[in-house]
Amino acid sequence: KTAAIYDYVINNIRYVSTAENSANGYIPNPDSILANAGGICFDYASLMAAMLRSQKIPTRVVVGYAGETYHAWISVYITGSGWIDGYIYFDGNKWNRMDPTFAASATDEADYKKMVDYISNSGNYSVLYYY
């Protein structure tokens, strides 16, 4: 279920740069995000969290920084492992980060590889808040 929701969001929601300057106190609305098929990182993370929670998959929205940029992503709870901060799947060796905003931006195989390298490095992320 988690992978299907992740794939749906990264394939159907586009990044809307004009929304980057949202008003202070902005609260994402999953219905609006779906209707507009777009949003910013907070929208991607909030939509995924709402969809995963609707399937009884415990999920947190994480807000912090990716590099120097204010950013949002998600964390899921895996039975037997606990909260997996920012990770979605196990490739046989390690958990891999779930950042739907960056994943949706990969346009070809080279972009995808750069994106995976970036989001796999936990040093690129710093957490401020969990919701």
> Residue 110: left (phi > 0), alpha (psi -120 to 50), or beta?
alpha
Strands 82-84 and 69-78: antiparallel
For the chain, the domains span: 2-130
pTM comes to 0.79
Q: Which single residue is written with the structure tokens 């949202």? A: 22
Question: What pLDDT is stored for residue 96 in this prediction?
Answer: 57
55 token code pair: 């399937």
Own/partner pairs for 36-40, CB < 8 Å, 24+ apart? 37/12, 37/13, 38/13, 38/14, 39/13, 39/15, 40/15, 40/16, 40/101
CATH code assigned to 2-130: 3.10.620.30
- Would you say residue 109 has pLDDT above 90? no
- 54-98: per-residue pLDDT in tens? 999 899 999 999 999 889 988 888 777 777 665 455 555 555 566
Question: What's residue 29's pLDDT?
Answer: 95
pLDDT given at position 47: 97
Q: Which two tokens stand for residue 35?
A: 């209707």
Place of tokens 């037997």: 80
Pairwise CA distance, residues 23 & 110, whole Å: 35
